């Protein structure tokens, strides 16, 4: 649910016409079935065999919710504690099964949507005025908020620590907002009992990584069930912390972003996920934990492939005229010259070729590239392209594609 209110806060202020209860009662059996079908279709946890405890819980909850709402319309002063206890019990049931409230609250939301569709269909047939329809809508959604609040009460009774976990989930969301309110951040951090350090390390894990939540350190924030799991660790990643993280995510191949303050965590996570993709493609060396700070130049060079391709077109397109093998040799020689600026003999030793071969290749390069080799800006751009090309080859990318990048 988008909000959770206390039961006292959601009682409708305007009394609905009691004739609405007479109108709604005949709709309840078919509406109950429709809600159950929609919930089972939309939520995998409820899409189980009809005899399972989940579906029985769903059936009882839907039928009692609809009946209670209609009775509340018919007689707002009727005792309702029995129905309230039903939803506290549902919250306790979710907690005892070791689940979050997300599934149950999603079912509440779907139930409200289906019920409102039915009201929109039946209301005009029964000539309900727009004012009555608006009052009915307010009452229905306030009632759903009340049920969600009761379920939350029961859930926290069974798992009082979940309130702190909820604040920590909220804190994790706020930490990843580059321009969030510091006042709000500090307030949520206080409720989460997680003092915000000056520096933090964000750690990205591969999608679908198996994890052992029970060994997670108390001072680590984490979203391990996310499509792209990640954690936030106070301070730097010490050797002890690395070992701790590998107990939580035993398959390893984690990537730690650069240390950052609260405002910089979003960028750090973005870089960590970029580095993780480079590890998965073989461009960066794999390991249990890889640190972005060790590979910042590689991350920069591979941060925008299209832009590097454009530099290649502007500064090296003349090399496309050479056959693939000859072009690769020329580019290797040019990269060695740009990086080392050594003599022909020194470059020959590095490339394991004869010095005369180096001189011949450099004359070819000078003939096609001209003054670009004497211009500092052009030399830098060419070196960026050549370094990026070498990194791409680590991933097994087809070298024959280089001609396309030079000419397209």
Same domain as 235, residue 360: no
DSSP 8-state class, residue 17? P
Where among 302, 324, 344 does a domain terminate?
A: 302
Residue 398 within a domain: yes
Distances (CA, A) of 8 to 76, 146, 149, 284, 372: 13, 8, 10, 57, 76
pTM as predicted: 0.56
Where among 158, 178, 209 does a domain terminate?
A: 158
Give the pLDDT of residue 242.
92
Residue 334 within a domain: yes
List phi, psi (to 5°) of 121.
-80, -45
Tell whether the model's pLDDT for residue 104 goes beyond 70: yes
Give the pLDDT of residue 268.
95
- The CATH number given to whatever domain includes residue 48 is 1.10.490.10
Q: Are 124 and 110 in contact (CB under 8 A)?
A: no
Give the pLDDT of residue 101.
74
Structure tokens at 99: 């689940």
**Domain total in the chain:** 3
Give the pLDDT of residue 3.
38
Structure tokens at 179: 């321009």
Q: Mean of the per-residue pLDDT values for the chain? A: 84
Q: What is the pLDDT of residues 45-58, one digit of tens each?
A: 666 655 556 667 77
Same domain as 398, residue 279: no
Q: Of the given ranges (135-149, 156-170, 203-217, 343-357), which has the lowest mean pLDDT?
A: 156-170
Structure tokens at 362: 């450099």
Task: Return the number of other C-beta atoms located less than 10 Å from residue 132's C-beta.
Answer: 17
Q: What is the pLDDT of residues 195-205, one digit of tens each?
A: 999 999 999 99
Give the pLDDT of residue 13.
46
Q: Of the given ranges (14-28, 48-62, 81-95, 132-146), which has the lowest mean pLDDT?
A: 48-62
Give the pLDDT of residue 141.
87
Tell whether the model's pLDDT for residue 337 goes beyond 70: yes
Same domain as 393, residue 319: yes
Structure tokens at 364: 């070819």
Instruction: Report percent pLDDT > 90 for the chain.
Output: 21
Average pLDDT over residues 137-143: 88
Same domain as 338, residue 400: yes
Q: Are 204 and 257 in contact (CB under 8 A)?
A: yes
Beta-sheet pairing, 289-291 with 221-223: unpaired
The band of 160, judged by pLDDT with boundaries at 50, 70 and 90, is: low
Angle, to 10 degrees, between the axis of helix 28-42 and the axis of helix 53-74? 140
Structure tokens at 345: 């003999």
Same domain as 275, residue 389: no
| Residue whose C-alpha is closest to residue 250's, from 289, 202, 293 | 289
Average pLDDT over residues 148-175: 82
Give the pLDDT of residue 7.
39
Same domain as 203, residue 152: no
Same domain as 310, residue 293: no
d(CA 104, CA 109): 9
Give the pLDDT of residue 11.
43
List phi, psi (to 5°) of 199.
-130, 145
Q: What is the pLDDT of residues 249-264, one digit of tens each?
A: 998 889 999 999 988 9
d(CA 295, CA 301): 10
Where among 287, 302, 317 does a domain terminate?
A: 302
With H, G, I as helix, E, B as strand and everything else as coil, classify residue 267. helix
* Helix, strand, coil share (%) of the chain residues, nearest 5: 70, 5, 25
Tell whether the model's pLDDT for residue 94 goes beyond 80: no
Give the pLDDT of residue 62.
86
Number of H helices and number of E strands within the chain?
A: 17, 5
d(CA 32, CA 35): 5
- The CATH number given to whatever domain includes residue 395 is 1.10.10
d(CA 56, CA 90): 11
Task: Return the number of other C-beta atoms located less than 10 Å from residue 346's C-beta.
Answer: 15
Give the pLDDT of residue 202.
96
| Residue whose C-alpha is closest to residue 405's, from 278, 307, 322, 261 | 307
Domain that holds residue 244: 199-302
Give the pLDDT of residue 234.
94
Average pLDDT over residues 15-24: 84
The band of 14, judged by pLDDT with boundaries at 50, 70 and 90, is: low
Mind spelling out the 3-state secondary structure of 144-155?
HHHHHHHHHHHH
Tell whether the model's pLDDT for residue 184 goes beyond 70: yes
Angle, to 10 degrees, between the axis of helix 376-394 and the axis of helix 324-340? 120
């Amino acid at each position: 649910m988008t909000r959770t209110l206390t039961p006292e806060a959601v009682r409708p202020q305007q009394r609905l016409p009691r004739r609405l209860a007479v109108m709604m009662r005949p709709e309840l059996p078919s509406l109950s079935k429709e809600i159950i079908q929609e919930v089972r279709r939309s939520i995998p946890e409820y899409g189980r065999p009809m005899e399972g405890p989940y579906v029985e819980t769903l059936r009882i909850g839907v039928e009692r919710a609809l009946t209670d709402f209609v009775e509340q319309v018919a007689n707002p002063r009727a005792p309702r504690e029995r129905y309230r206890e039903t939803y506290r019990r549902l919250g306790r049931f979710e907690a005892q099964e070791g689940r979050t409230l997300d599934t149950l609250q999603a079912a509440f939301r779907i139930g409200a949507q289906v019920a409102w569709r039915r009201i929109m269909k039946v209301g005009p047939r029964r000539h309900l005025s727009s004012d009555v329809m608006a009052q009915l809508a307010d009452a229905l959604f306030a009632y759903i908020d009340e049920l969600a609040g009761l379920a939350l009460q029961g859930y926290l009774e069974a798992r009082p620590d979940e309130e702190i976990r909820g604040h920590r989930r909220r804190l994790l969301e706020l930490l990843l907002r580059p321009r969030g309110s510091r006042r709000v951040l500090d307030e949520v951090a206080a409720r989460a009992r997680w003092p915000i350090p000056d520096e933090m390390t964000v750690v990205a894990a591969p999608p679908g990584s198996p994890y052992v939540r029970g060994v997670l350190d108390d001072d680590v924030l984490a979203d391990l069930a996310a499509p792209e799991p990640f954690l936030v660790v106070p301070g730097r990643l010490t050797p002890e912390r690395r070992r701790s993280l590998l107990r939580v995510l035993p398959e390893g191949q984690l990537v730690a972003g650069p240390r950052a303050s609260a405002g910089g965590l979003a960028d750090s996570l973005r870089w960590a996920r970029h580095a993780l993709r480079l590890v998965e493609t073989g461009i960066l060396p794999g390991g249990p934990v890889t640190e972005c700070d060790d590979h910042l130049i590689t991350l920069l060079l591979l941060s925008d492939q299209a832009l590097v391709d454009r530099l290649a077109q502007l500064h090296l397109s003349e090399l496309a005229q050479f056959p693939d093998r000859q072009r690769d040799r020329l580019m290797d020689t040019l990269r060695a010259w740009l990086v080392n600026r050594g003599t022909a003999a020194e470059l020959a030793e590095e490339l394991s070729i004869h010095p005369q071969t180096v001189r011949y290749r450099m004359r070819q390069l000078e003939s096609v590239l001209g003054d670009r080799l004497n211009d500092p800006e052009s030399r830098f751009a060419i070196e960026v392209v050549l370094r990026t090309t070498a990194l791409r080859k680590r991933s097994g990318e087809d070298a024959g594609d280089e001609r396309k990048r030079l000419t397209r």
